[in-house]
Amino acid sequence: MTRQQVLDLYFLAARHQLIEIAAFLDRVDRAEGEADFRLGAFAAALRCLQEAPPGERATAVLMALSDPTTEPLPKAPGKGAVGAWSGQRLAA
Amino acid sequence: MRYIEPHAHMVSRVTDDYAAMVTAGCAAVCEPAFWAGFDRGSPQAFHDYFCQLTEYEPRRAAKFGLPHFCWLCLNPKEAEDPGFAREVLALIPQFLDRPNVLGIGEIGLNKNSRNELQVLEWHVDLAARTGQLILVHTPHLEDKFKGTRLTLDVLRADSRIRPERVIIDHVEEHTVKMVLDAGFWAGMTLYPETKCTPARAIDILERYGPERLWLNSACDWGVSEPLVVARTTLEMRRRGWSAEAVDRVIYQNPLRFLSQCPRFKLP
C-alpha cells in the first residue's frame, strides 16, 4: 500500500484511538489519590511513539510494558496479568 | 471462502457459534485444553474434561458438519502444583490415540514461575516420547516477552523436538521474530482488547511473510470473537490481498501444519 492508501484506510481509526488515550489521561488527571506503577509505565510507553526507530514503534511500546528479566519466579504470584511490569525484580 | 479455526475453546461457546462459523466457511475447528476459569478440584476432573474434548464436543460440532479436533494437557494456569500436575499428565497417554487428538497443548507458561517451567518440561518430554505435535501458549501482556524466551530455551534444550512440529501461539510484534528465527511456527490470536487486532496481525504477515504463521480467534468464555478469522479477511482484501494469499494464511497454513498429525483429515 502507498502511504496515501494507509492514511485513507486507517487515519480516522488512529485519530479516534489517539483521542481516547488523551481522554484517558485527562480522566486520570481529574481523579483523586495515588496512581500505581501502571501510569508511569504508560508514560514510558508513550515516549516510545516519538523515540522508537521508524517501523519499530509497536515493538518498542510492547517492550516498555514487558518484564525484561530472564530468571523464572520462585512462585507464581497469582494467575492474572495487568498489562505493565511492576519493575520488581523478585529475589530468587 | 474457506478457513480452519486452529484455536477455539468451543466447550465455552454456545451452539449458535458452531452454526455461524460453518456459515462463514469454517472447515475444521481445533480445541486446545484450557483453564476452566477456576482450578479443577481433582485429576478426575481433568479425566472428565478430556472425555468432553474427545467424545462429546466432536459430536456437538458434527451436528453442523464441522470436524472437531483437540489438544490435551494441563494448562499453565494450573501448573503451580507439580504433584497435581504429575497426576494429570499420567492420564493423558490413554487419550492420545483417540481419533480427534492432534497432540499436546496448549502447554507453556503463565506467570513464568519455576513450577510452571518444570511442568512445561514434563509436557515437552511427554510429546517427544509419544511423537506428538506441540501447541504452546505464551503468557499474557507484561509476561509474554519473558515467557516466550523461557519457552524457547526449554524447546531448544530438548534435541528430540523438531521446530517444524511445534507452534508457538499468541505472538505479537515483540515476540514473533524470535519464534520464527528459531524455526517454529507462530500463531497470532485476534482479540478485541489484548493480543493482536486484525490490522496488527496483517502488519506482521506483511512484514515477516506468511510462511509459518496462522491466525486464530482463541475464543473462550472471556472477551473474544469466534468469527474474527473470517472477519480479518475483509481487512486483508481492503489492503489489496488476493484471494489466493488470503487462502494461504487462513486455510493452507493450518492445513500444512496440522496435517503432520495423521489423525488430521478433512472430508
Rg (alpha carbons) of chain A, rounded to whole number: 17
B59-106 pLDDT, tens per residue? 999 999 999 999 999 999 999 999 999 999 999 999 999 999 999 999
Residue of A nearest to B176 (CA): A59
Cβ within 8 Å of residue B104, ≥6 positions away: B71, B72, B73, B92, B123, B124, B126, B127, B132, B133, B134, B135
Cβ within 8 Å of residue A2, ≥6 positions away: none
Residue B112 pLDDT > 90: yes
Selecting from A59, A67, A74 the residue whose C-beta is nearest the C-beta of B142 gives: A67
DSSP-derived 3-state class of residue B153? helix
Contact B192, B236 (CB under 8 A): no
Cβ-defined contact of B200 to A66 (cutoff 8 Å): no
Residue A14 with chain B: CB contacts under 8 Å: none
Residue of B nearest to A77 (CA): B111
Gap from B194 CA to chain A (nearest CA, Å):
9
What is the predicted pLDDT for the residue at A35? 96
Cβ within 8 Å of residue B27, ≥6 positions away: B2, B3, B4, B66, B67, B251, B266
Residue ranges of domains in chain A = 1-33, 34-67
Q: Count other Cβ atoms within 10 Å, centred on residue B191.
A: 17
DSSP-derived 3-state class of residue B27? strand
What is the rounded distance in angstroms from the CA atom of residue B142 to the CA atom of residue A9?
30
B150-156 CB contacts, 8 Å cutoff, 24+ apart: B150/A70, B150/A72, B150/B109, B150/B112, B150/B117, B151/B108, B151/B109, B151/B120, B152/B178, B152/B179, B152/B182, B152/B184, B154/B117, B154/B120, B154/B121, B154/B124, B155/B124, B155/B182, B155/B184, B156/B182
Residue A91 with chain B: CB contacts under 8 Å: none
B17-55 pLDDT, tens per residue? 999 999 999 999 999 999 999 999 999 999 999 999 999
Selecting from A67, A74, A83 the residue whose C-beta is nearest the C-beta of B146 gives: A67
Is B156's Cβ below 8 Å from some Cβ in A?
no
Residue ranges of domains in chain B = 3-258
Gap from B148 CA to chain A (nearest CA, Å):
10
Closest to B249 (Cα-Cα) out of B233, B260, B261, B238: B233
pLDDT band at residue A88 using 50, 70 and 90 as cut-offs: low
Selecting from A69, A81, A83 the residue whose C-beta is nearest the C-beta of B139 gives: A81
Q: Which CATH number fits domain B3-258: 3.30.300.30, 3.40.920.10, 3.90.1150.10, 3.20.20.140?
A: 3.20.20.140
Closest to B46 (Cα-Cα) out of B65, B57, B32, B33: B33
Contact B183, B164 (CB under 8 A): yes
pTM for the model: 0.96
Selecting from B111, B116, B172 the residue whose C-beta is nearest the C-beta of A62 gives: B172
Is B191's Cβ below 8 Å from some Cβ in A?
no
Selecting from A66, A73, A79 the residue whose C-beta is nearest the C-beta of B142 gives: A66
Residue B115 with chain A: CB contacts under 8 Å: 75-76
Please state the rounded mean pLDDT for residues A41-53. 96
Gap from B59 CA to chain A (nearest CA, Å):
32
- Cα distances (angstroms) measured from residue A14 to each of A25, A74, B69, B201: 17, 41, 38, 16
Mark which residues 29-88 of A lie under 8 Å from B by CB.
58-59, 62-63, 65-70, 72-85
- Mean model confidence pLDDT for chain B: 97
pLDDT band at residue A90 using 50, 70 and 90 as cut-offs: very low
Residue B167 pLDDT > 50: yes
Cβ-defined contact of B113 to A74 (cutoff 8 Å): yes
Residue A84 with chain B: CB contacts under 8 Å: 141-142
Mark which residues 199-228 of B lie under 8 Å from A by CB.
199-200, 203
